[in-house]
Every structure is written in C-alpha cells, then in structure tokens.
Amino acid sequence: MMKFKTRLEWKPEYSVGDASVDFEHEELIGQIDVLYGQLCGNVKAATVEAVLGEIHAGISAHFALEERLMLKAGYTEYGAHKDDHEDLLDQIHDLMDNYLKDPVGGRKMLRDRLTDWFGHHFASFDARLHKKLG
Amino acid sequence: MNPLRHLGSLTIFFFWIVLISGIWLFIFFHTSVNGAYESVEYLTHEQWYLGGVMRSLHRYASDAAIVTLVLHILKEFFFDRYRNARWFSWMTGVPLLWMVIPLGITGYWLVWDQLALYVALISSELLDALPIFTDPMARNFLSEESLSDRFFTLMAFVHLIGLPIFLVFGIWIHVFRINRPNINPPRAVMTAALLSMLVLSLVYPALSQGKADPAVVPDSLALDWYYLLVYPLMNSWPPGMVWALLVGFSLLLCVAPWLPPGHEPAVAKVDLDNCNGCERCVEDCPFGAVMMAPRSDDKKYATEAVVSQALCLSCGICVGACPTATPFRTRTVLSPGIDLPDQTVALMQQAIRDASRNLEGDRRLLVFSCDGSNKLARLNDRETAVVKLACMAQLPPAFIDYILNRGFADGVVLAGCANGDCQYRLGARWTEQRINRVRDPQLRNRVDDETLALLWTAPWSDFPHETAAVAAFRNTLSAADDQPVQSASPKVRGPLFRFTIGAVAWSMFAISAGIFSAWPYFSQLEPGNAIVSLTLSHAGQRLRECRKLTQEELDKLPPNMRKPTDCPRERHPVKLSFSSDGTIRYQQTLPPSGLWNDGESTVYHRIELPAGTHEFFIGMVDSGRTQGFDYQGRSEVRLQKGQHVVVEFDRLRKEFVFR
C-alpha cells in the first residue's frame, strides 16, 4: 500500500478516471504541499490558518463532488467511502483547532499528520474508486 | 401531525377516496333516466353496509376536499406564498377549481333526485347564458320525455372519466415546478382523515331527496353549499351577472401574484471559482431553480450550477447546502459556490460576529430566525442575540460548528418555521436532516448536541411560547452533567392528550364537512308559490317570400348557380307575450339565431306565481305584424303550491300547450 511519509506529489497513475476528480486531487495535493512547505518554514500563524481554511473548503467541495459521482455510478462501496470522508472532515477540524490553540506546538503535529491525513484515504479509498470510474 | 400543514396533499388524498368509492358506485349505477335514481337508492338502502357507506364517503370526501382546498388557497395567500416564481403553481391551481366544482355538480346531477333536477335546471340556465347552444339546454329537463338515457351516459362520461383525467393532469401541472412535492400527507393524517369520513358516513349517511319530478318544485332542498354556493344567486341575479362574478373572481386569482405590494429579491448567484458542480444545491433547492449545465469556464469540471431567474425564490437553501460555504475560510472575503446577493454568507458571518460581540455571561445564546419567525427579534438581550436568515436551511452547518468552537456563543438555537409551515417548503426538513447528520452537508460530530436546540414555530404561535422554550434551553447549558437535562422544546403533552385533541379536531372537521353538505335548506320559491316555465323554439317567417326567377335572370347566371327560386334566408324575430290575470308577466322580442338570422327564435323563462287559479294568456307574432298575434293560447290554470307548469308551443299542431 502506498504510504505518504513525506510531501505529497501528484502522479498520473493516481488518476481515478474522472477528469474533475483528478483535477481536484491535483489541486488539493498542491495545496497540502504548499502548506507543508509553509509549516517547515517560518510563516505567520494567520497564513497557515488561511491555507487550512481553503483546504477545508476545497476538501469539503471535493468530497461532495466525489460522492455525487459515486452515487451516479452506483458505486457499491459508497457507504464506507463516505464514512471515511466524514472522518477526514472531522479530523481536519481537529487539526485546525489544535493549530489555533497552540500554533508553535501545533505546527509540528500538523506537519507530521497532514500528509497522512489525506494520503491514506487517497491511497486506499480513492484507489478502489479508480477501478469503478477508471 | 397537524393537518393544516398538509392541506394540499390532504386534498389529493380526499380525491383518492372519492375516486375509489366512485369506482364502486359506478359498478352498480344505471346510466338511464329510470334506472339512475333506483340504482342509487339500492346502493343506499339495500347495500347500506358497503354501497351506502361508499356513497357517503364519496360525498363527504368531496366536501372535505373543498374545505381543504379553500384552506390551502387561503393559507398560501395569507402567508404570501403565491408571488414571484410561485405564480405558476398559484395560477395553475385556478383551473383545478374549475374542474373540481363541475366534478361535484355532475355528481349530484347523476343521482337524478329533486336536487339533481334543480342542479340540472340551474346549470343549464347558466350554460344557456353563454353563446354556445342555439336551443336552450334547460328545456331538456322540463319533462322526462325530453330526457334520454344517452344523456346519463354522457354525464357519467364527463363525471367519471373526462373531468377526473383533466384533474389528474391539472394536479401534475400544478406541482410540476415543485421539487419533491408532497403528494401524500403523513400516514397518521391519512388515517385520521379516512376514519373521520368513515364515521361521518356511518352516523350521517348521504341520502337522495326524492326522485326527480319535473312537475314538482320541492318546498326546500338540502343543498351542498360546498359545490352549489352560487346556485341560489340565480334566483335573484341574471345569469350574466353570475358568470361575471365567477369569471371575475377567477381572473382576480390569476393576476393576484402581480398585484401590489410586490417584492422581488435578487436570485441566488453562482461563483464559478468556488463551484465544482457537486450538485448539492440542485439536490436541495425546493423549487428546481438550480440546474446543472456544461461548464462555461476553462476549469476541468464537467458541469456547473446555473440558477433560473424565473424559478428562484431567494430562500438561500442552496447556500446552506454548498460545501464551500464554510466560515473557516479566512484568506479572502467569504464567497461560496452559490450565494444570495442580498444576504451573502459573508454578511451572515459578519452579523454573527457583531451579534455575539455584546453578549455577556456563560450562557450566551445565538438564535437564528427566518422570514417566518421574525417576531423572535424581540428575544435580543444581554445573553441572547438574534440573527435573521431568509430560511433556516440557509445556514450551513459549518457555521454552527464555527460559532460554538470559536466561542461566539455557548449555545445555538435554530428557531424556524416547522415543516409544513416553512415559507420555502423544505427548509425545516433539510435543517433537521443536516443537524441529525443524515443529509449533506452534515453537522460535524464534534458539535455537542446539548449546545444546540431546534425550535420549530408556527407563524401564528405566540411569542411567550418561544421565549419559554429558549429560556428552558438556556437552563440546560448550565445544568451539571448529573442533573436531568430540560428539553428546549415546549413541554410535549402525553399521547392520550394529543389523541383526544386530534380526535376532537377531526370530529369538528367531519361535522363541518357533513353539515354544510346539506344545510341550511334552500327554498327555490316563496312559500305558497308555484313556477310557470315558458319554453319555445320557433322559427319566424322569412322576411320576404321566395321568388321564382325569370328565364332571362337564369340565363345570366353561371350554369352551376341556376337555382329556379330565390329565397332570402333572414327571418322575422318572434314576439312573445305572456300574461296572468291580465298582468303582463313576460314580453320579449326574440331574435332569430344563426349568423344569417335564419335560425329559430328560442326562449326558456321561469316565472314565479302564487298558488291559486289564474287566467293565462300567451300570444306570439312570427310574421312581423304590428297588431294582434299570429298564434295565441288561453287557459285557466289552477296552480298548486310547488307545482311546475310548462307553457310551450306545439310545432305540429301550431298551438300553445299548458301542462
């Protein structure tokens, strides 16, 4: 199984077979990568918060689109995939809150967990979706 | 399960009862002059346990449908739910009225009792006022001989097939523009409605009013006021005026959506930079105003949301569904994929910040109110701030998370209109489902349900009711974990109490449906009077005699036009005069019918006279003469109370007949 220990990077083999989903995956990976870079550097907490907010909005919209496509395609694993989406949304809220409460300590935790947070879902659930849509 | 929240669907449910009971009645119904009344009597008395019940259900469900229909119209009108994009449903409801009323009228006609005869005569008089029929239709109902079985077949077709098909089609059009229309009321409401009609049918069965007899005018009739409300007007108003009232009222209903005061808020707007075509707004729009269209920008999405100007009611429910409408975004001005230009989520976010700024204490509440729960603005105090939305479902659940987790308040109250009273139909339902995490976008799990209260109100509910509920919820915020948590909702009564209230309400409804289906009684005549009907269909003589053409005249004509005689088509009008005991009761010049004034002159006219012996005289001129009459009749008639005498002209014998 694919494991994202370091920075995320979009590769053509990640394609799930739908141009819009692939486009958003690429965008999100780009955003997460930017944030990861910021967390390694020395940027203001407000900047990190703003990027997190955009990732939160982007990922919410992306999940909504992906769920619509799964429903239209009659994807049998929709339920489990959807549950993972909801878990991920809960997690990103926690990540955001933790960071806001303690920007210095939260920065490291965010850096450690950010790629895993999305990477696991990407490598497991979205990879299975690829077989249906691709 | 308040039936007032399901008036439209309840009307449709009553229609189904009428349809099913009507099928049973039709199995036993005889479509003939002599068989119609007897077959209905058989159903009513011999087969009372089924046919009789079905007949009563058929009648009372029809009456109940009118009650719910009128309440449905009044509710939509007084809650201002007929303007802007709603004009379509409102206007397409008007023809439904014009189908439902004739459906009931033709039903009463088929029974062929005294009420049916009255309905037949008055309906015919109304129709005769329209320039449709050459011969007065009412003349067909002056004697049984003039009525054929064919008529009942025609009437049965209109009542059983023609009008119901148009009605079903009309209902389909009526709800065509509505997303997820409520076609069926909740099961409990259906059960209560059916039971109430069933009990009414058993306690107060529908009965006929004596076989139709054209020679008799009954002292009084048990009129169904739900369907025949305007018929008594025909006693004192000319038919043209009754038509003017009916058509005028219908036209007024049709133009009502455009009458002042009107208000047309800006419709929802899509921001393509934030729209990925996820379709949640399409899914949640109660009016089908958001549609998907091929992408118009260069982003790699297949579709984008498009808002129909003609359908959008600016409720903002689409905004509440948009996954990008999240207040956690701070990089730029908050702009979701779809938004209301007049009430943006950015303004909502600002309003929340402003409202919470002055709140004090550790039990601070943010109350969201909607268009229908405006009065809640009075709740504002040191601990409570009210933020107004277009509709409760305009609030994205992320905002609740944001308010509670970012410390803008200690509790959130969503105080909107209850399901069925929602100004935008689905606002309450979608809000509840999102809060209960069964509809997207879902409220995040980390939001403590104890810090959130739903307070569904009715537009007519009293303000203290909401104040008490909000106060009760505030108390729960400070309750220790081991203390019993109070409900934020007003105290809910026990099932027995609710059952009793429901039973009483449905009984009242059934009683009102039953009472006005036959009461108050209506008398066509002043006590002790009788009716004389003048009826005639007679062609006046030609204005000029036919003339034989000379050979010279014929030669001048083309060969195919050489008719030996020239007969002008125009006829004289017929002058008719009727007097009783020397007093002229009717005197008219009746023009010939037809485009060329070559048809028959016709009349059907009712005259009410006191019972007793009268000397009748009737004279007719059909030749244009100015002195005397071409035909005349005289008779001494002893009128009985409630008798119906017909005076007509026998074409074959060329004389007047009094019968």
pLDDT, tens only, B315-332 = 999 999 999 999 998 877
The answer, yes or no, to whether ipTM is higher than 0.90 is: no
Q: Residue B196's pLDDT is what? A: 96
Place of tokens 């995040």: B444
Mean pLDDT of B472-477: 88
pLDDT, tens only, B505-542 = 999 999 999 999 999 999 989 999 999 999 999 999 99
Question: Which two three-digit tokens encode residue A21?
Answer: 């989903």
Q: Give CA–CA dist B33/B42, Å, rounded.
A: 15
pLDDT band, very low/low/confident/very high, at A3 (cuts 50, 70, 90)? very low
Q: Residue A100's pLDDT is what? A: 83
- Residue B621 phi/psi, 5° resolution? -120, 125
Please say whether the beta carbons of B182 and B8 come within 8 A. Answer: yes
Q: Residue B479's pLDDT is what? A: 59
SS (HEC) of chain A = CCCCCCCCCCCHHHCCCCHHHHHHHHHHHHHHHHHHHHHHCCCCHHHHHHHHHHHHHHHHHHHHHHHHHHHHHCCCCHHHHHHHHHHHHHHHHHHHHHHHHCHHHHHHHHHHHHHHHHHHHHHHHHHHHHHHHC
Q: Which residue of B has its CA nearest to A52?
A: B329
Q: Give CA–CA dist B346/B339, Å, rounded.
A: 9
**Percentage above 90 pLDDT, chain B:** 75
In b/e form, how buried is each residue of A78-90, taking b as 16+ CB within 10 angstroms?
beebbebbeebbe
Output the domain CATH number for residue A68: 1.20.120.50
Q: Give CA–CA dist B256/B253, Å, rounded.
A: 5
Q: Whose CA is closest to B611, among B634, B578, B644, B589?
A: B644
Q: Give CA–CA dist B429/B422, Å, rounded.
A: 9
What type of residue sits at position B4?
A: L
The full length of chain B comes to: 659
Q: Residue A7's pLDDT is what? A: 61
pLDDT band, very low/low/confident/very high, at B489 (cuts 50, 70, 90)? low
Picking from A19, A64, A89, the nearest residue to B300 by CB comes out as A19
Least confident among A79-88, B40-49, B636-645: A79-88
Does residue B486 surpass a pLDDT of 70? Answer: no
Question: Which two three-digit tokens encode residue B515?
Answer: 């009472």
> CB distance from A129 to chain B under 8 Å?
no
Q: Give CA–CA dist B323/B276, Å, rounded.
A: 10
Q: Give CA–CA dist B451/B412, Å, rounded.
A: 6
For residue A10, being part of any structural domain is answered with no
- Indicate the Cα dihedral angle B541, B544, B550, B552, nearest 10°: -130
pLDDT, tens only, B589-603 = 999 998 889 999 999
For residue A119, being part of any structural domain is answered with yes
Question: Which two three-digit tokens encode residue B581?
Answer: 């005991």
In b/e form, how buried is each residue of B102-115, taking b as 16+ CB within 10 angstroms?
bbbbbbbbbbbbbb
For residue A25, being part of any structural domain is answered with yes
Q: Residue B485's pLDDT is what? A: 39
Place of tokens 């133009």: B255
Residues of A in contact with B272 (CB under 8 A): none
- Tell me the pLDDT of chain B averaged across its residues: 91
| B42: DSSP letter | I
Q: Residue B484's pLDDT is what? A: 43
**Percentage above 70 pLDDT, chain B:** 97
pTM for this prediction: 0.85
Q: Residue B396's pLDDT is what? A: 97
Question: Which two three-digit tokens encode residue B546?
Answer: 């036919």
Mean pLDDT of B289-309: 94
Q: Which one of B272, B322, B331 would you mutate to disrupt binding with A, by most A Cβ within 10 Å of its Cβ?
A: B331
Picking from B278, B330, B401, the nearest residue to A61 by CB comes out as B278
Does residue A10 surpass a pLDDT of 80? Answer: no
pLDDT, tens only, B118-129 = 999 999 999 999
**Distance from A106 to chain B by nearest Cα, in Å?**
17
For residue A4, being part of any structural domain is answered with no
pLDDT, tens only, B442-451 = 999 989 999 9
Does residue B580 surpass a pLDDT of 50? Answer: yes
Picking from A53, A67, A90, the nearest residue to B331 by CB comes out as A53
Please say whether the beta carbons of B21 and B61 come within 8 A. Answer: yes
Mean pLDDT of B70-97: 94
Domain count, chain A: 1
Q: Give CA–CA dist B344/B269, Å, rounded.
A: 10
pLDDT band, very low/low/confident/very high, at A5 (cuts 50, 70, 90)? very low
**Distance from B369 to chain A by nearest Cα, in Å?**
26
pLDDT, tens only, B267-292 = 999 999 999 999 999 999 999 999 99
Residues of B in contact with A51 (CB under 8 A): 331
Residues of B in contact with A46 (CB under 8 A): 330
Q: Bridge-partner residues for B615, per DSSP? A: B636
Domains and CATH numbers, chain B: 3-176+213-258 (1.20.810.10), 269-492 (no CATH), 529-658 (2.60.40)
Domain extent at residue A122: 18-133
Q: Which residue of B has its CA nearest to A25?
A: B300
Q: What distances in angstroms separate CA B268 from CA B323, B343, B344, B517, one per listed residue?
A: 16, 10, 9, 47
Picking from B301, B405, B440, the nearest residue to A97 by CB comes out as B405
> CB distance from A57 to chain B under 8 Å?
yes
Kindly list the residues of chain B whose beta carbon comes within 8 Å of any beta carbon in chain A: 274, 276-280, 299-302, 323-324, 326, 328-331, 337, 398, 401, 405, 440-442, 444-446
Question: Which two three-digit tokens encode residue A117?
Answer: 């947070």
Does residue B337 surpass a pLDDT of 90? Answer: yes
> CB distance from A44 to chain B under 8 Å?
no
CB atoms within 10 A of CB B217: 23
> CB distance from A69 to chain B under 8 Å?
no
> CB distance from A89 to chain B under 8 Å?
yes
Q: Within 13 A of B434's CA, how many CA atoms are on the CB side?
A: 31
Place of tokens 């006609």: B109
Of residues B648 and B488, the one with the higher pLDDT is B648
Picking from A53, A62, A64, the nearest residue to B328 by CB comes out as A53
Least confident among B239-253, B298-312, B336-350, B366-380: B366-380
Q: Residue B480's pLDDT is what? A: 45
Q: Residue B493's pLDDT is what? A: 64
For residue A6, being part of any structural domain is answered with no
Q: Whose CA is closest to B268, among B390, B387, B352?
A: B390
For residue A82, being part of any structural domain is answered with yes
Of residues B27 and A109, the one with the higher pLDDT is B27
Q: Give CA–CA dist B287/B310, Å, rounded.
A: 10
Give the number of beta-carbon pairs within 8 Å between A and B.
78
Does residue B197 surpass a pLDDT of 50? Answer: yes
> CB distance from A105 to chain B under 8 Å?
no
pLDDT, tens only, A34-64 = 887 887 777 788 888 888 888 889 999 999 9
Q: Give CA–CA dist A125/B112, Å, rounded.
A: 72
